[in-house]
Chain A
Amino acid sequence: AQKITQTQPGMFVQEKEAVTLDCTYDTSDQSYGLFWYKQPSSGEMIFLIYQGSYDEQNATEGRYSLNFQKARKSANLVISASQLGDSAMYFCAMRDTGRRALTFGSGTRLQVQP
Chain B
Amino acid sequence: NAGVTQTPKFQVLKTGQSMTLQCAQDMNHNSMYWYRQDPGMGLRLIYYSASEGTTDKGEVPNGYNVSRLNKREFSLRLESAAPSQTSVYFCASSVGQGVYNEQFFGPGTRLTVL
Interface residues of A (CB under 8 A from B): 4, 31-33, 35, 37, 43-45, 47, 50, 52-53, 91, 93, 95-97, 100-102, 104-107
Residues of B close to A96: CB separation below 8 A: 99
- In the bound complex, CA of A30 to CA of B100 (Å): 13
Jot down 7 A-B pairs with beta carbons below 8 A, ordered by A. A4-B42, A33-B101, A96-B99, A97-B99, A100-B50, A101-B33, A102-B43
B100 touches A52 (CB 8 A): yes
The interface centre, meaning the residue of B90, B103, B107 with most chain A CB atoms within 10 A of its CB, is B103
B107 touches A44 (CB 8 A): yes
Chain B, residue nearest A4 (CB): B42
Q: Mark B20-42, 1 if CB is under 8 A from A, else 0.
A: 00000000000101010000111
Interface size on B, residues (CB 8 A): 28
**A8: min CB distance to chain B, Å:** 13
A100 touches B44 (CB 8 A): no
B13 part of interface (Cβ distance < 8 Å): no
Given known A-B contacts A31-B99, A44-B107, A106 and B40 have beta carbons under 8 A apart = yes
Given known A-B contacts A100-B50, A101-B33, A101-B58, A35 and B102 have beta carbons under 8 A apart = yes
The interface centre, meaning the residue of A50, A104, A105 with most chain B CB atoms within 10 A of its CB, is A104
B79 part of interface (Cβ distance < 8 Å): no
